[in-house]
Structure 1
Amino acid sequence: MRQVEPKFDPAPSRWSYRYQRLMLTPLFRKTLRIGLPFALALGAGIMFFTDPDRQEALIQKVADLREQIETRPEFMVQLLEVEGASAPVEEVIREVFPFKLPISSFDADLDAVRVMIEDLPAVADASVRIRKGGVLVAKVVERQPIALWRVQDGLNIVDVEGVVIGKVLEHPKLMEMPIIAGAGAEKAVPEALSLSRAAKSLDAEVRGLVRVGERRWDVVMESGQRIMLPVDNPQRALERVIVLDDIKDMLNRDLSVVDMRIVERPTIRMNENAADDWWQVSQTTAGAVE
């Protein structure tokens, strides 16, 4: 009997069919082309770097490479230049400068340097930058001394905002500034300056201004006389005193206090000796009339 040979079936097998269907899927192809190599490389890297010695060697190599880059000449700060500051302030800035030059620009904290300079009493504002050539430039705006504030331990120099710049030095220009005193005087410097300018019109010389109760001012003359000004609109009251002094030469009389706290009703207070003399004269006059 003749054996019948099986016919060849051209259809793919079940597994071959599934594989072909998967290969038609874009995600599967990307996984084979990208995901599988990445997973193999990641696994190999993890196995390689689990060795502590290899980890330390890699960290050291990265640190050396970073140091080589940061210490290149074009990244080094060689000099400190201070602009806009007087000689004493510049000297203080150089003394408190926190870094030792030369230093890499990567290690120089410019914000910290700026804050450090602005914390100085004599500095109002500062900016810091690194200029080409390895020069760190600190541009400074100093506070301008406006008045002298008398405190228990001497005289302080203050600016228009009442910030204490420093102690008074023996300097003629400084001693010509208006002198203020009293609690809260440093908080009202602009008003004190305005009153001081107005008081220059007085014939008598002004010694200074005293803040009373942190609310109002007294103008103190070199003779010891005191002009008591009101809380509201003190300059108007002072201008009225100037007019009275021009007309009646009031401040050249034997007065101790001119009280302008009630502007509509100014009051004067005589010195003790003058009051006694006036009393004796009035009694004598009264006796003569009798």
Structure 2
Amino acid sequence: MTSSQNDRSEAQRRDPAPSRLAYKAHRLWLTPVFRAFLRVGLPVFAILMATGWYLANPTNRYAIGEKLTNMKRSVQERPEFLVKLMAVEGATPVVDNAVRQILPIDFPISSFDLDLERMRAEIMKLDVIEDADLRIRPGGVLEVALTERQPVILWRHDGVLDMLDAGGHRVASLLDRNARSDLPLITGAGASDAVPEARALLDTVGPLRGELRGLIRVGERRWDLVLKSDQRILLPTEDPVAALEQVIALHQAQDLFGRDLSVIDMRNPQRPTLRLGDTAMKELRRMNGFEIEEVSQ
């Protein structure tokens, strides 16, 4: 064999082309996803495996939980997060005392341990409270700002005397009418649902306000006005204010309530009806009897 032939056979044996496996491995290494997996995914996977193995031990989990709890408490109990007292604003002494009883807080306490929404919900259960706003002021003060309902009328029902606000919401109960003699009185089933209409009538009653004993809700649909002289004004279901204005105008023109009348029936405003009192009825009967006797003679 010649030297040239030997060189060609040696070159064939030393072929620099990679093998199929080496070629595929090289191509895989050049893939961005594979390289990212080796750089990031594989270390993360190893860390997760090690963490899972560590947390599989209940003792280790308990120790970590205790450590985190201690760290959390150490932050929450720092002086700047402590609430030292509660200030109730806009409340009467009775309501102030009631709020403190339903919120028995043991001060000092961390602000993180105060559920302000739950506390507000508890306060709003009091009938007298219209609105409540809770916030923690600088200096460790829990401020409870209250808006109380203002009673404008009394409602007598089922042997109970309740104070109602302008919307008919119960404020509180009374044991004695004289305790709030300044408030007008309503009674009857469904009267609390018609407080705005009752107030409109009270604003219209004008010169009769001092003579008014109260308003009676009849059939949950209309009002009767009762005066101290036991005279009664029967108002219609529709537009009772206009009917009452008509009665007031008639009184101012003819001193209607100075007469011996027991009932002024305005249920049909187009045909008002007057019912005489007992004395006037007796006198009327006497006069009619006298006239009959004169004719018979």
Do these two structures clear the TM 0.5 threshold for a shared fold by scoring above it?
yes
- Partner of residue 158 from structure 1, selected from 156, 164, 167: 164
Shift of 1:122: 0.7
Q: Alignment partner of 1:231: what SS?
A: coil
- Partner of residue 220 from structure 1, selected from 222, 226, 242: 226
* Structure 1 residues 9-28: aligned runs within 5 Å: 9-28=15-34
Deviations 1:73-97 (A, max 9, x none): 2222221111222222111111111
* Structure 1 residues 82-101: aligned runs within 5 Å: 82-101=88-107
Shift of 1:20: 1.7
Shift of 1:211: 0.7
Distance 2:57 2:213 in 1: 82
Aligned partners of 1:202 and 1:245 also within 8 Å:
no
Q: Alignment partner of 1:106: what SS?
A: helix
Aligned partners of 1:125 and 1:140 also within 8 Å:
yes
The residue identity in structure 2 corresponding to 1:230 is P
Which residue does the alignment assign to 2:239?
233
Which residue does the alignment assign to 1:74?
80
Distance 1:49 1:6 in 2: 61
The 3 A distance-change label for structure 1 pair 123 and 203 is closer
* Larger fraction in helix: 2
Q: Alignment partner of 2:238: what SS?
A: coil
The residue identity in structure 2 corresponding to 1:56 is Y
Distance 1:246 1:16 in 2: 117
The answer as to 2:199 corresponding to 1:199 is: no
Which residue does the alignment assign to 1:246?
252
* Structure 1 residues 166-185: aligned runs within 5 Å: 166-168=172-174, 174-185=180-191
Mark the runs of 5 or more structure 1 residues left unpaired by the alignment. none
Shift of 1:273: 4.3
Mark the runs of 5 or more structure 2 residues left unpaired by the alignment. none
Q: RMSD in angstroms over aligned alpha carbons?
A: 2.3
- Partner of residue 137 from structure 1, selected from 137, 143, 148: 143
The 3 A distance-change label for structure 1 pair 172 and 271 is closer
Aligned partners of 1:146 and 1:158 also within 8 Å:
yes
The 3 A distance-change label for structure 1 pair 160 and 106 is same
Which residue does the alignment assign to 1:148?
154
The residue identity in structure 1 corresponding to 2:238 is D
Aligned partners of 2:90 and 2:146 also within 8 Å:
yes
Aligned partners of 1:178 and 1:193 also within 8 Å:
no
Which residue does the alignment assign to 2:41?
35
Shift of 1:198: 1.9
The 3 A distance-change label for structure 1 pair 203 and 113 is closer
Distance 1:203 1:154 in 2: 24
Aligned partners of 1:122 and 1:142 also within 8 Å:
yes
The 3 A distance-change label for structure 1 pair 11 and 174 is same
Greater mean deviation of Cα atoms: 93-102 or 54-63: 93-102
Shift of 1:203: 8.3
Distance 1:280 1:144 in 2: 53
Shift of 1:271: 2.6
Which residue does the alignment assign to 2:284?
278
The answer as to 2:198 corresponding to 1:187 is: no
Distance 2:50 2:246 in 1: 94
* Structure 1 residues 51-62: aligned runs within 5 Å: 51-62=57-68
Which residue does the alignment assign to 1:263?
269
Distance 1:122 1:211 in 2: 24
TM-score by length of 2: 0.90
Greater mean deviation of Cα atoms: 267-276 or 213-222: 267-276
Greater mean deviation of Cα atoms: 201-210 or 155-164: 201-210
Aligned partners of 1:204 and 1:251 also within 8 Å:
no
TM-score by length of 1: 0.92
